[in-house]
């Protein structure tokens, strides 16, 4: 019998922001590949993702946690390790967005984005790495094409995602001798509930029109799907990608290289 490729059997995964969108797709796919998945999220609706995973005979747990609070992250990671004795995979997915230039971005908005998108990722890595150092592991950070190219009205968001790339390279370099790999994915626009909420809030009555406009900013002519991001996440976190570390992967329908 041929062994299943990209298997995560007997691996313990932690996925921040795993209750919806890209994080949910990653959580479900990892569970299908037989990983025990621990989802860190603030949204009580995350229990729905856990139910979906249980329905496919997967194993998942919901930990209500604000990743911006190091104390909360520390407590959750300790509880996971106490029960599993390890964490093999960390997917740093939790993040928030903001629309605005440097002039229209308030200090409050800047700090809010920093606390989740930068400090949140720092907190998760800071608490998980000591455990990973014992047996090795994989860290995958969700960045964005906003860290690679200039995007109008995304000052604070671009700033935080640029920091994600820096953290990814630094961790990959510092912990390679501990058999810890660290990579990142930089998606372009992906159709998630966040996008629908953004359009409803900012373009009431013009949601369909703006959805089409945003979709066409990708040369491929559409937005990505959460599942398409999840498939790459699975590869990068699997043993098949054991030779890959310190890399960022744009998943963008040609946005970075083909837009002129």
| CA separation for the pair 254, 260 (Å, rounded) | 11
178 as an active site residue: the answer is no
Q: Is 48 exposed, middle or buried (0-12, 13-18, 19+ CB in 10 A)?
A: middle
Three-class SS of residue 62? strand
Closest by CA position to 90, among listed 4, 223, 182, 21: 182
Tell me the helix, strand and coil percentages in the chain, rounded to 5. 50, 15, 35
- Core vs surface per residue 138-153: b (16+ CB within 10 A) or e: bbbbbbbbbbbbebee
| CA separation for the pair 140, 91 (Å, rounded) | 5
Helices and strands in the chain, H and E counts = 10, 7
From residue 6, give the alpha-carbon distance in Å to each of 30, 131, 185, 249: 9, 23, 18, 18
Closest by CA position to 42, among listed 27, 20, 59, 58: 20
Catalytic residue among 157, 175, 235, 249: 157
Indicate which residues carry an active-site annotation: 157
């Amino acid at each position: 019998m041929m062994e299943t490729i990209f298997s995560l059997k007997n691996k313990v995964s932690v996925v921040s922001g795993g209750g919806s969108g890209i994080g949910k797709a990653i959580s479900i796919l990892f569970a299908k590949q037989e990983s025990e998945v621990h989802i860190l999220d603030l949204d009580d609706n995350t229990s729905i993702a856990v139910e979906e995973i249980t329905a496919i005979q997967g194993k998942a747990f919901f930990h209500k946690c604000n990743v911006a609070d190091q104390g909360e992250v520390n407590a959750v990671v300790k509880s996971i390790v106490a029960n599993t004795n390890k964490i093999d995979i960390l997917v740093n997915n939790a993040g928030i967005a903001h629309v605005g230039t440097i002039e229209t971005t308030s200090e409050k908005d800047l700090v809010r984005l920093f606390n989740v998108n930068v400090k949140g990722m720092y907190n998760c890595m800071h608490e998980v790495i000591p455990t990973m150092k014992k047996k090795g592991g994989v860290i995958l950070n969700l960045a964005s094409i906003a860290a690679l190219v200039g995007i109008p009205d995304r000052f604070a968001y671009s700033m935080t995602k640029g920091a994600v790339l820096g953290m990814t390279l630094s961790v990959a370099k510092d912990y390679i001798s501990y058999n810890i790999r660290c990579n990142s994915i930089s998606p372009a626009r992906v159709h998630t509930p966040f996008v629908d909420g953004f359009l409803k809030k900012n373009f009431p009555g013009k949601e369909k029109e703006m959805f089409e406009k945003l979709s066409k900013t990708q040369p491929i002519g559409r937005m990505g799907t959460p599942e398409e991001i999840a498939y790459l996440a699975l590869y990068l976190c699997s043993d098949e990608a054991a030779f890959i570390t310190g890399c960022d992967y744009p998943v963008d329908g040609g946005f970075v290289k083909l837009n002129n």
